[in-house]
Amino acid sequence: MNALTTEEMEEWWAEEQGLIDALLHRDYTYEYEGRPVLLERYVMGLADGRALIQTAKVRPTCHHRYSAS
């Protein structure tokens, strides 16, 4: 694996923060104003985190019964 540049590390960190903030139900997009690339990655993480939360809320009902035969 190639070493990440400082810029790449900041982008990954911003995306990770977006995921974490989605789980904690907060939004700090204003902190990334003036840094469009980081804002884009933060918003991506935030959106992905929110989508994961919504997906986790949908629990299919299982109607099968299993027996130890």
Distances (CA, A) of 11 to 39, 52, 66: 9, 20, 47
- What values do phi and psi take at 64, rounded to 5? -90, 145
pTM: 0.78
Q: Judge whether 66 lies within some domain.
A: no
The 3-state DSSP composition of the chain as helix, strand, coil percent (nearest 5) reads 65, 0, 35
For 26, the domain range is: 6-57
Q: Judge whether 49 lies within some domain.
A: yes
Q: Judge whether 68 lies within some domain.
A: no
Render pLDDT for 7-62 as a digit per residue (tens, 0 to 9): 999 999 999 999 999 999 999 999 999 999 999 999 999 999 999 999 888 766 66
Q: Judge whether 63 lies within some domain.
A: no
Q: Judge whether 10 lies within some domain.
A: yes
Instruction: Report d(CA 65, CA 39) in Å as an integer.
Output: 48
Amino acid symbol at 57: K
* Total number of domains in the chain: 1
